[in-house]
Structure 1
Amino acid sequence: MINEARLYQLLGERIRKLREGFETPEGRMTQAGLAAMVDLERTSITNIEKGAQKVSLHVLYKICEVFDANVLDILPRPAEVVQEKALPEMTALEFGGKTYVAPQKTLQKIAAILEMKEQR
């Protein structure tokens, strides 16, 4: 499963590094300068660099064109953004002299069903 937040965070960091390493006649390229070159507002560049705003594909290509960078070189590799599914925490439940081990939510549901049966 892709961790979308991590994907855009890494992409934004890489765009920021490209921008900060790019020298113009006036000095280091600013967010406002990059924004003007790719037809965005400065706040959009700020949000993209923070990972708070998704980058449109055509804008990503424009940004890469400004820095003479290959799109594939700034995209995070799948291994960097894959989110491993966490295993549920296992819990033990004793019932009828036996111990059952299962995820806590499952055991809570089973216990509730068993209590309902006992009350009848």
Structure 2
Amino acid sequence: MSDMEVYRILGAAIAKRRAELGLTQADVAGRIDLTRASLANIETGRQKVLLHQIYKLANALEVRSITDLVPPSFQFIEDPEPVQFEGSDVNDRERAQLEHFVRTFGSS
């Protein structure tokens, strides 16, 4: 699991619980002192969340524990092997972009 994957999973859990309660993003954002746009970014995994914000979210979303929102386990990816592009004439910048794309979307 990549570092950002945990934020995507957290965001999806927040959005799901918010929908179950029939709350808007503006409703929840107001309860936790964030803008609606910030909550939208959190729900899509584009914005990192501070620990105290997770506690506020758990309270606003009426879950018993923050563990109801976060993945049950998380293991950082350590030193992934480089992606090989055989027979390809890509420069270093293109290679980095392709590798990022493969690592981000290749396991979905």
TM-score normalised by L of structure 1 = 0.60
Corresponding residue for residue 68 of structure 2:
73
Partner SS, residue 78 of structure 1: coil
RMSD: 2.1
SS of residue in 1 equivalent to 2:30: helix
Greater RCO structure (CA 8 Å; 6+ sep):
2
Query: Which protein has the larger Cα radius of gyration, Structure 1 or Structure 2?
Result: 1
Alignment of 1:95-106 (within 5 A): none
Q: 1:85 to 1:42 in 2, by over 3 A?
A: same
Higher strand share: 1
- CA 1:87–1:34 in 2, change beyond 3 Å: closer, same or farther? same
- 2: distance between equivalents of 1:14 and 1:78? 14
Q: TM-score, normalised by structure 2?
A: 0.67
2:26 is matched with: 32
Unaligned runs of 5+ in 1: 23-27, 91-120
**Equivalent position of 1:20 in the other structure:** 19
Dislocated runs of 4+, deviation >6 Å: none
Percentage of pairs with the same residue? 35
Structure 2 stretches lacking a partner, 5+ long: 85-108
Counterpart residue identity of residue 69, structure 2? I
CA distance in 2, matches of 1:4, 1:87: 16
